[in-house]
């Protein structure tokens, strides 16, 4: 449960970060769209107001019945009227309203008063729940105001804002869902690796428990028999020694195993097959003599030059040969052959040892797996060799197959590329 929590918070963090990024981007987009639209709409209206101002200012004088009419009346007499209908014109002079163009919003007694505003400047006016933009200027001693109602424009701006808000909310919901899916995907391999590490540490500590318990027990016996001759305790001491050697080996293999998982770099060198075989063969010939076992190596007669990661292929051979020697009885026969197969070298390591029960065969490459027989017989080992072999051969593209018959023997077949990349 605890480890799930770690990922729960990480997942939440990933979601929060990605959604915030999306949110900020969308918000900036929304604000810019809104501002651009709004200023476009009002700019157009303001331009029209200024054009109307210009038209009035540049009207040629009209002579009516030989007289110059009052300026305010002039607007009536002109045909067509110079003012577009959607604009409202108020003419103010001699302290009274002289003229106000017909409109549904206000009359001579009730109209927005912008006489205090500076000349030629666009004003925003709210009057009895209606919104206007207006401009004021002077002509022939009159104050003239032109208004335009902007209710419908404001309504469409509001509509746009609402649509953007709804869009923003839906996109954020989608972003949350997508980032949740994304976070689970990203975390999947991390979680798997984490689980593997946990199992690895659990298995490793489990493997160490037995030898440590044995060592502790033996040491306790020794501690309680300090006055006894060391010879009579030889058995305990040698048991301790062998357990310590086992632990040491386990420790080395654990290091190799973790290294193998992290560092899969291969270093390729040119090497001849016979040099390679000599490098491993000699040691096992001696061992075979020592253990009274038969050890036979067959190799091609012609010289074959290989581009191999020497150390890693050797490590594989050592793992297989060590097992072959360990899991054969005194009359053991171990047979190794190297065969040229075009792009590959086929290597066979065969023994007539204890074999592996069929039901256990699929597990022999698992980390720390050791057959029940081997454990029962107390044959030393840590169950790491073949899992190490598996990860090395995967990185070197070596195919590994094996057959085994319980009580009769085991045969490993490797197909090793001559040129490694
Ligand atoms: N040549 C073999 N003959 C019989 N059993 C084998 C052989 N090679 C491997 N095994 C089985 O596979 C298990 C795993 O081998 P390995 O990973 O090398 O671990 P270890 O040798 O330390 O037990 C061994 O414990 C043994 O049960
Ligand atoms: Mg082994």
Q: Say what percent of the chain tops pLDDT 90.
A: 48
User: What is the number of the ligand closest to the CA of 412?
Assistant: 1
Q: Is 250 in the pocket of ligand 1 (CB under 6 A)?
A: no
- pLDDT score recorded for residue 72: 56
**Which of 406 and 224 is assigned the larger pLDDT?**
406
- pLDDT score recorded for residue 127: 84
Q: Say what percent of the chain tops pLDDT 70.
A: 90
Residue 314 pLDDT greater than 60, yes or no: yes
**Which protein residue's CA is at the shortest distance from atom 12 of ligand 1?**
364
- pLDDT score recorded for residue 321: 95
Domain boundaries, the chain: 2-155, 264-417
Query: 352, 341 in Cβ contact below 8 A?
Result: no
- pLDDT score recorded for residue 87: 87
Residues 386-401: what's their mean pLDDT?
92
Residue 116 pLDDT greater than 70, yes or no: no
Predicted confidence (pLDDT) per residue in 31-45, tens digit: 999 999 999 999 999
**Which of 177 and 206 is assigned the larger pLDDT?**
177
Neighbours of 111 (CB within 10 A): 19
Q: Is 353 in the pocket of ligand 1 (CB under 6 A)?
A: yes
Residue 316 CA to ligand 1 center (angstroms) comes to 13
What is the assigned CATH class of domain 264-417?
A: alpha beta
- pLDDT score recorded for residue 37: 95
Residues 132-155: what's their mean pLDDT?
88
**Which protein residue's CA is at the shortest distance from atom 7 of ligand 1?**
323
Give the least confident one: 77-81, 287-291, 307-311.
77-81
Predicted confidence (pLDDT) per residue in 183-202, tens digit: 999 899 888 888 878 877 88
Q: Is 112 in the pocket of ligand 1 (CB under 6 A)?
A: no
Residue 374 CA to ligand 2 center (angstroms) comes to 11
User: What is the number of the ligand closest to the CA of 356?
Assistant: 1
- pLDDT score recorded for residue 79: 53
Question: Given pLDDT bands bounded at 50, 70 and 90, which one contains residue 248?
Answer: confident
Predicted confidence (pLDDT) per residue in 63-72, tens digit: 556 655 566 5
Question: Given pLDDT bands bounded at 50, 70 and 90, which one contains residue 262?
Answer: very low
Residues 124 and 80: their CA atoms lie apart, in Å, by 29
Give the least confident one: 62-66, 231-235, 394-398.
62-66
Q: Is 400 in the pocket of ligand 1 (CB under 6 A)?
A: no
**Which protein residue's CA is at the shortest distance from atom 13 of ligand 1?**
370
Q: Is 134 in the pocket of ligand 1 (CB under 6 A)?
A: no
Residues 292-320: what's their mean pLDDT?
93
Give the least confident one: 62-71, 348-357, 367-376.
62-71
Residue 338, strand partner residues: 347
Neighbours of 305 (CB within 10 A): 12
Residue 80 pLDDT greater than 70, yes or no: no
Q: Is 328 in the pocket of ligand 1 (CB under 6 A)?
A: no
- pLDDT score recorded for residue 1: 46
Cα-only R_g, the chain: 47
- pLDDT score recorded for residue 346: 97
Average pLDDT, the chain: 86
Q: Which of 76-80, 89-93, 340-344 has the highest mean pLDDT?
A: 340-344
- pLDDT score recorded for residue 8: 87
Of 321, 374, 375, 400, the one to substitute when testing ligand 1's pocket (max ligand atoms within 8 A of C-beta) is 374
């Amino acid at each position: 449960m605890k480890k799930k929590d770690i990922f729960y918070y990480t997942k939440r963090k990933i979601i929060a970060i990605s959604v915030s990024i999306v949110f900020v981007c969308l918000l900036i987009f929304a604000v810019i769209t809104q501002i651009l639209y709004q200023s476009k709409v009002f700019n157009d209206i303001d331009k029209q107001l200024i054009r109307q101002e210009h038209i009035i200012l540049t009207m040629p004088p009209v002579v009516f019945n030989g007289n110059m009419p009052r300026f305010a009346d002039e607007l009536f007499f002109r045909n067509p009227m110079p003012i577009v209908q959607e604009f409202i014109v108020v003419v103010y002079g001699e302290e009274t309203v002289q003229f106000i163009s017909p409109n549904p919003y206000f009359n001579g007694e009730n109209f927005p008063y912008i006489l205090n505003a500076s000349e030629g400047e666009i004003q925003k006016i709210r009057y009895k729940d209606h919104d206007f933009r207006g401009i004021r200027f002077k002509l022939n001693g009159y104050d003239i105001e032109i208004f335009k109602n902007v209710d419908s424009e404001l309504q469409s701006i509001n509509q746009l804002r609402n649509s953007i808000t709804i869009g923003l909310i839906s996109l954020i919901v989608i972003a949350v869902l997508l980032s949740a899916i994304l976070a689970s995907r990203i975390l999947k391999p991390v979680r798997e690796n984490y689980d593997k590490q946990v199992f690895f540490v659990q298995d490793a500590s489990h493997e160490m428990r037995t030898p440590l318990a044995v060592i502790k027990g033996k040491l306790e016996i020794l501690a309680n028999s300090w006055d006894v001759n060391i010879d009579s305790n030889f058995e305990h001491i040698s048991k301790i020694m062998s357990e310590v050697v086992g632990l040491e080996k386990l420790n080395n293999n654990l290091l190799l195993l973790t290294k193998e998982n992290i560092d899969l770099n291969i270093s390729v060198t040119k090497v001849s097959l016979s040099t390679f075989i000599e490098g491993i063969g000699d040691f096992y010939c001696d061992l075979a003599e020592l253990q009274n076992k038969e050890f036979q190596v067959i190799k091609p007669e012609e010289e074959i030059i290989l581009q191999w990661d020497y150390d890693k292929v050797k490590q594989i051979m050592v793992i297989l040969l060590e097992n072959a020697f360990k899991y054969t009885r005194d009359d053991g026969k171990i047979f190794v052959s190297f065969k040229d197969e075009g792009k590959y070298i086929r290597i066979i390591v065969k023994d007539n040892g204890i074999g592996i029960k069929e039901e256990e065969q699929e597990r022999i490459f698992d980390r720390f797996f050791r057959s029940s027989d081997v454990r029962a017989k107390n044959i030393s080992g840590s169950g790491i060799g073949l899992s190490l072999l598996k990860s090395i051969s995967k990185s070197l593209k070596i195919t590994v197959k094996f057959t085994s018959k319980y009580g009769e023997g085991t045969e490993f077949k490797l197909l090793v590329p001559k040129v490694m990349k």
